[in-house]
Structure formats: structure tokens, C-alpha cells
Amino acid sequence: MSKIKHKSNSKETKDKIIELFYNQHLRPTDISKKLKVKMPYITRIIQTDSRYIGEKEARKQENREKQKEQKRIYAQNKREKERQEKQDYQKLLVQINNDNKFLSTKKKVSDLKYAKWNRSAYDYDENTSDLILKDKIVAGFNVAKRVSNIVNPNSIKSKRIYV
């Protein structure tokens, strides 16, 4: 890294600093990096120029305008995002309602069909010819604990059921 020098009393350096600050509108930190001159020297040169106060006010106004524009863009993006999220939420509600309608209109599965689909969950009771839910299986209230009048439990695996 090159060493930052203090080029005092150099007419060329002063003119370059004034050119960069007032005409190209660079910040003092950028000028310092570009010319490899210390910041206090740059500040002193800039502040002694008669245009300094006007330039300072113009930059403040420009920054205020930029900030207003950024706030406007931020608010606009936020509103757009909220609108999109609201639309997505409404789509989700419609999907949920459609799913609920489909699930609520589905026919109830008979105990016999359920036992057929889950034959391994039931034991055959030879005395009553019933299928009884195994003790180890924990099931909800709507699962049949007993399916009655099954003559041959092996017939459930085939399509031939004798009731």
C-alpha cells in the first residue's frame, strides 16, 4: 500500500482537489483515496473556497431528495409485498376450502373395508367369527374395534367375503 502524503502548498494538488469536489462532486474520502492526500488537508482546501457553503447546501438537498425517493421506493415495495402475501393467503384459503369440501363429501369407509385394508391389525376370534383389533394397536374412536360375522378371515384377503 502506498503511503498517504501531505502535499501542502502544491497549487496543482489544490486545483485537483477543488476540481474533484466541486465539478465531479466526489466526497472528501474519495478524493483522499484518489490523490493519496490526508483528509484534514482536503477539508481545509475545500472549506476555504467561496463556493463551499453553496455546495454543502446543494449536497444536503440532494441527499434529502435521494432519501425521499428511497423511502418512496421502500414503501411501494412493502405495499406490493403485502399485497402479494395477501393474494397468496387468499389462494391458500380457497385451496383449504376446496380440500375441506372434498374431504367432507368423501363417503365413510365401512368397518369391513377398513379391516380388509388393514388385515394385519386384526385378530380372528374363532368363537364369535369376529375380527378384533389387536391390543397393541392404539387407534382413534372411529376405528372399529370389532368387525362382526366374518365366517372365514382369510377370505378378506381375497375378494370373496362371507357375511
Distance (Å) of CA 45 to CA 2, 11, 14, 27, 39: 23, 11, 7, 13, 10
Q: What phi and psi values does residue 118 have, to the nearest 5 degrees?
A: -120, 50
Is residue 99 assigned to a domain? Answer: no
For residues 38 and 4, the answer to whether their CB atoms sit within 8 Å is yes
Q: What is the grid cell recorded at 85?
A: 402475501
Is residue 117 assigned to a domain? Answer: yes
Is residue 27 assigned to a domain? Answer: yes
pTM tops 0.85: no
Number of domains in the chain: 2
Range of the domain at 19: 11-49
Is residue 95 assigned to a domain? Answer: no
Is residue 65 assigned to a domain? Answer: no
Is residue 22 assigned to a domain? Answer: yes
Is residue 24 assigned to a domain? Answer: yes
Is residue 20 assigned to a domain? Answer: yes
**pLDDT (tens place) for every residue of the chain, 163 residues total:** 444 444 455 888 889 999 999 999 899 999 999 989 999 999 999 998 889 999 999 999 999 999 999 999 999 999 999 999 999 999 999 998 888 877 676 667 678 877 777 778 888 887 877 888 898 888 888 888 888 866 665 555 544 444 4
